[in-house]
Structure 1
Amino acid sequence: MQPLVLVNPKRRLPARHEIGILTFAVVLAATVFYLDTFTDIHSALATLYVITLLLSAETLTEKGTLLLTGSCVSLSMFSYVTAHGLQGDMAAALRLIVAVAAMAITCALIIRNQRARLDLLRFNAALRSSEERYRTIFEQGRVALWERDYSEVRAMLMALRAQGIFDLRAHARDNPDLVENCIARVPTIAANAAALELLGIVDAQDVRSMRRYIAPDDTTFLELMVAIFENKRHFEGRGTIIAADGTNKMVLLTVGFPEDAANFNRVIVGMFDVTEREMTQKALFEAQAELALASRAATVGALSASLAHELNQPLGALVVNAQTLQRWLDRDPPDLAAVSRSAERIVRDSQRASDIIQSTRSMLGNHAPVIEPVSLIQLVAETRALMESELLRNAVRFDIIAESELPTVNAVRIELQQVLINLITNALQAMADIPETKRWIEVTIEAADAQKVAIRVRDSGPGLGSDILRNLFKPFCTTKETGLGMGLAICRSMLEARGSTLAARNHSDGGAEFEMIVPIEATHE
């Protein structure tokens, strides 16, 4: 059970002064009681108890005030009964009622004042605690923080708006001194240690003006002014500052603006040094650009053998047709009909060689690919013809299994053919160590669903190991000593750019199987 505390422990006066006041209040109450009880003074002496309450207000708690009020009321009623009895006259009763009412009202006012004072004390304590926490965060935090006075520059910007200016950027272009004028109107009130460290200085007085630390060509401060001009609550932007030693630093600037314009005299500005991050991103972008270039080169490297065969075939045919044409011309008389047929074949094979070269150049350059209707059955047949010499040299049987009716797909022909060549070339290399009589490649073409067509390339090789299968489409994953490991990664990314997919697995009957899912309508990059 808590003890009853009557004296206010949160004193504002010295203890001896409070004792004196309480003593005087008690003496005053005793005097009033004596005069009201034992004299014939016909006035509302009991109202003088109000003075006792007022004197004790600063020293008693709320419960003490209530107890003292109750005591004074009791003394007044006792005095009334003693002096007038229970049959007192109306005037005496009215005086008693007035005195009791005065004491009750005074008690209520004192209690209200005490509660208001306690609330104010609690509010001030919370405010001091909040200020202490804020100062701790501001001064000891590792984030660079400034307190700046934006009140004057805000007033200037609002005056511009009142003059009918609504595009501050255009106004700044027409008035080059605007930004400099704004910077001069924003003094720094305080800066923490992290802010001074960011700028490479020691004395906080050196940052009262930020002019020397803002890069001349930086537009971040103008954007900050635009945010104030447009009454935004928050601003975030990237800028460049010049440290004390002259080095440039890239920073992320964050500012929160108060709702009340009167509080613009102390605005918190935060800065984060993102120089290393920006440099890392720049290096990453450069590396990605180099990798993209290397990927294109790797694509050509991976397809170089196939391209050589592609060119050898039309070039060889050109030589044969030219020799045939020469023989028909040497006859007497020349066989002009045969000469014409040979010339037509020369033109056809020359155009084919030109198309192969042009496709390779388009793949290496930044030219937009041509999406055209492609018959997958015809494409696979053409690819088999292109690699016929390679298939014959490796003694590999090549089978095409296709549904009778398949829709054409809208795709980039050369890209699909490059993927097929890569898959077939990998299959040939995978079967290098098995007997020639057991080497075969099977290409199945069938509808995957109403919107897609599936092409499956299966070989009779040893299949793919679990480790290789997990990383098969990652760059630089290869099982060949001289391989770059980029072919399949490039094939997958090239297909995915058009909405297609490429997956690999081991067939249940042995060998590896690659599956291309090609949408009927290609997706543009």
Structure 2
Amino acid sequence: MSIASILLRARDPGQGHNLAFGVVAVTLAAVIFCIDTYTDIEGAIAVLYVVSMLLAAQSMTRIGLLVIATGCAALTFLSYAMTHGQEANLQETLRLFGALAALSVTTLLLLKTETARLNLLSTHSALSESEARYRSIFDRTRVALWERDYSKLRSYLMDVRAQGVIDIKAYARVNPTLVDHCGGLIKAVAANQAARELLGPKSSGMGIPQRALIAGQEKFLDMLQAIMDGDRTFEDKVEVQTDDGEDKLVLLSVSLPEDPAAFGRVVVSMVDITQRELALKARAEAQAELTKASRAAMAGAMSASLAHELNQPLGAIVINAQTLLRWLDREPPDLPAVRRSAERMIRDSQRASELIQNARRVLSSPNNDLESVDLGSLIDETVALMEHELQQSKTAVLVDYSPHIPTVSTVKIELQQVLINLMTNAIQAMDEAGCSERSIRITMNQPDIEHICIAVRDTGPGIGDDARDRLFAPFFTTKAAGMGMGLSICRSTLEARGGRLDGTNHPEGGAVFEIQLPIKPEAEHA
């Protein structure tokens, strides 16, 4: 790096121009030195070195200014020594210090000005780089972007607001030309390539664009309302039409600046979401078809479930009717026994009716009404419903009630049917195995603050290894006349309420099925 490049700054396009200022400044300093030293002119000639400094400031760097200032000060001292020497008086000395003071002040001011100039150049350079980056992003991004001049539109809307208008839609109903007038106030500043590809060169240059303005006046009025209310952004789905007449659905986003002066360049973006919306529509239609198919499948499963579940109450009605006839055939008829049989028939008929009503509710609505259920009372009622089967199979039921078991929010008829299924399966398993000891133990406990566990254990042969993995699979059964729907429906019913059903073998023998219920449905979801 040369000395000239260190001293001279590239202020102007030509380095020669800077060098000319430097030469003139040096020449002027030399002339001032000669006049001050070799002439009899009285006065503070050395103060004219300030002019040389001002000329040097046009081309010198900070280092160059310091060099020139030092040189001028040295010339001032040299001239003073050559002309006055030992004969200097007070007046000449004051002139010397006055000239040096002027040089010092001028140098400091010029250095400060140079610092400010450098800062200004740095800021300008940063702004230029930022503008270049913004322009590069604006032009090259694949998002359709516009720069719009909304300054006239905002000014008009503020005038309308000043008149007391708050609801722009109501104002538009009274003034039908408002939309067209406001659209004409929007001017296009720039549009990127993606904008031209999205709408075409004609539409991309319009204010909103105009095709979207005509097709969606409500959305345009919403944007005007956002400007009036001082919102920072406006975003909505709008329908636009391209130059080729193709309709597209786009996501329109307008970034509204906080500074009113910045409304001259408002950035508007559009993202084509036509294909996405078509895909969402197709998915919704597919989901609707799937829902129909699922409900048809559920209806089939419910039919199988009803056939399975109604066997017990209908069979009990038949048996009680036969018993009632036998009591009537006696001489004399045993009327109290007849009454008991009739009451059991009524009870089992009501039970069958509840099953049908529950199936109807499930088919018509995915959610049944929840109720607060006392599990102890529910188990007692279930055992009473199973009284005939238990007596016929000589099966004892033992219930262990843990203290302080809270009530649960569930559908009573569903939970009761699950218990009946489990108890019926236990009776049938013990009958088929010819077990000498036949008992069912039902226990309740609260494993944590959110759940209740009900366990139904029998003294049968337990669950075979081949059946363990498929125990809850639909249509899987180990019974010769079974349909394989009972356990599958029980598990699905409980899972729909946030519960769980598991089956395993007890270490002391027999099978045990555990029902886990959330005390409250919201606790399960939490």
Q: TM-score range by the shorter chain?
A: 0.7 to 0.9
Q: Does 1:376 align with 2:375?
A: yes
Identify the residue that residue 516 of structure 2 maps to in structure 1: 517
The worse-fitting range, judged by mean Cα deviation, of 298-307 and 328-337 is: 328-337
Identify the residue that residue 147 of structure 1 maps to in structure 2: 147
Q: Does 1:136 align with 2:174?
A: no
Shift in Å, 1:33:
0.7
Identify the residue that residue 211 of structure 1 maps to in structure 2: 210
8 A Cα contact 1:306 1:421, kept in partner:
no
* Superimposed CA distance per residue, residues 364-386 of structure 1 (whole angstroms, 9 cap, x where no aligned partner): 22386333343435545666787
Identify the residue that residue 110 of structure 2 maps to in structure 1: 110
Q: Measure the CA separation in 1 of the matches of 2:191 and 2:297.
A: 54
Q: Measure the CA separation in 1 of the matches of 2:433 and 2:332.
A: 53
1:32-431 aligned within 5 A: 32-172=32-172, 175=175, 177-199=177-199, 201-202=200-201, 206-214=205-213, 216-217=215-216, 219-292=218-291, 294-315=293-314, 347-366=346-365, 369-377=368-376, 379-380=378-379, 401-403=399-401, 405=403, 406-417=405-416, 419-420=418-419
Give the aligned residue type for 2:443: T
Q: Measure the CA separation in 2 of the matches of 1:247 and 1:428.
A: 71
1:447-462 aligned within 5 A: 447-449=446-448, 452-457=451-456, 460-462=462-464
Identify the residue that residue 28 of structure 2 maps to in structure 1: 28
8 A Cα contact 2:463 2:504, kept in partner:
no
Shift in Å, 1:212:
0.7
Shift in Å, 1:134:
0.7
Identify the residue that residue 8 of structure 1 maps to in structure 2: 8
Shift in Å, 1:39:
1.6
C-alpha distance 463-448 of structure 1, shift in aligned 2 (>3 A): farther
> What SS does the corresponding residue of 2:250 show, helix, strand or coil?
strand
> What SS does the corresponding residue of 1:232 show, helix, strand or coil?
coil
Shift in Å, 1:79:
1.0
8 A Cα contact 1:315 1:350, kept in partner:
yes
Give the aligned residue type for 1:502: R
> What SS does the corresponding residue of 2:142 show, helix, strand or coil?
coil
Q: Give me the CA root mean square deviation.
A: 4.6
8 A Cα contact 2:7 2:60, kept in partner:
yes
Identify the residue that residue 480 of structure 2 maps to in structure 1: none
Q: Measure the CA separation in 1 of the matches of 2:427 and 2:303.
A: 15
**Structure 2 unpaired stretches of 5+:** 478-482
Q: Measure the CA separation in 1 of the matches of 2:40 and 2:75.
A: 17
8 A Cα contact 1:252 1:274, kept in partner:
yes
Equivalent of 2:493, from 491, 494, 518?
491
Q: Percent identity between the aligned chains?
A: 44
8 A Cα contact 1:36 1:79, kept in partner:
yes
C-alpha distance 315-435 of structure 1, shift in aligned 2 (>3 A): closer
Q: Measure the CA separation in 2 of the matches of 1:211 and 1:489.
A: 59
Shift in Å, 1:75:
0.7
Q: Measure the CA separation in 2 of the matches of 1:163 and 1:304.
A: 69
C-alpha distance 34-13 of structure 1, shift in aligned 2 (>3 A): farther
**Structure 1 unpaired stretches of 5+:** none
Shift in Å, 1:209:
4.9
Shift in Å, 1:12:
0.6
C-alpha distance 508-341 of structure 1, shift in aligned 2 (>3 A): closer
* Superimposed CA distance per residue, residues 332-372 of structure 1 (whole angstroms, 9 cap, x where no aligned partner): 99999888777666654443333222111111223863333
Shift in Å, 1:167:
3.4
Instruction: Give the TM-score taking structure 2 as reference length.
Output: 0.79
C-alpha distance 148-423 of structure 1, shift in aligned 2 (>3 A): farther
> What SS does the corresponding residue of 2:268 show, helix, strand or coil?
strand
8 A Cα contact 1:138 1:192, kept in partner:
yes
Shift in Å, 1:193:
1.8
Give the aligned residue type for 2:32: V
* Superimposed CA distance per residue, residues 70-104 of structure 1 (whole angstroms, 9 cap, x where no aligned partner): 11011112211221224422222222222222222
Equivalent of 1:502, from 479, 500, 505?
500
Give the aligned residue type for 2:236: G
C-alpha distance 375-114 of structure 1, shift in aligned 2 (>3 A): closer
Shift in Å, 1:27:
2.3
Shift in Å, 1:141:
0.7
* Superimposed CA distance per residue, residues 183-221 of structure 1 (whole angstroms, 9 cap, x where no aligned partner): 33223322212222233x245765455121357356433
> What SS does the corresponding residue of 2:164 show, helix, strand or coil?
coil
Q: Measure the CA separation in 2 of the matches of 1:175 and 1:390.
A: 82
The worse-fitting range, judged by mean Cα deviation, of 335-344 and 301-310 is: 335-344
8 A Cα contact 2:500 2:515, kept in partner:
yes
Give the aligned residue type for 1:376: L
Instruction: Give the TM-score taking structure 1 as reference length.
Output: 0.79
> What SS does the corresponding residue of 2:310 show, helix, strand or coil?
helix
Shift in Å, 1:315:
4.4
Shift in Å, 1:155:
1.3
Shift in Å, 1:309:
4.2
The worse-fitting range, judged by mean Cα deviation, of 129-138 and 7-16 is: 7-16
Q: Measure the CA separation in 1 of the matches of 2:121 and 2:489.
A: 75
Shift in Å, 1:452:
4.2
8 A Cα contact 2:203 2:210, kept in partner:
no
* Superimposed CA distance per residue, residues 371-428 of structure 1 (whole angstroms, 9 cap, x where no aligned partner): 33434355456667878999999x9989664326555434211332455567779999
C-alpha distance 360-227 of structure 1, shift in aligned 2 (>3 A): same
Q: How many residue pairs were aligned?
A: 511
Q: Measure the CA separation in 2 of the matches of 1:332 and 1:437.
A: 39
Shift in Å, 1:241:
2.8
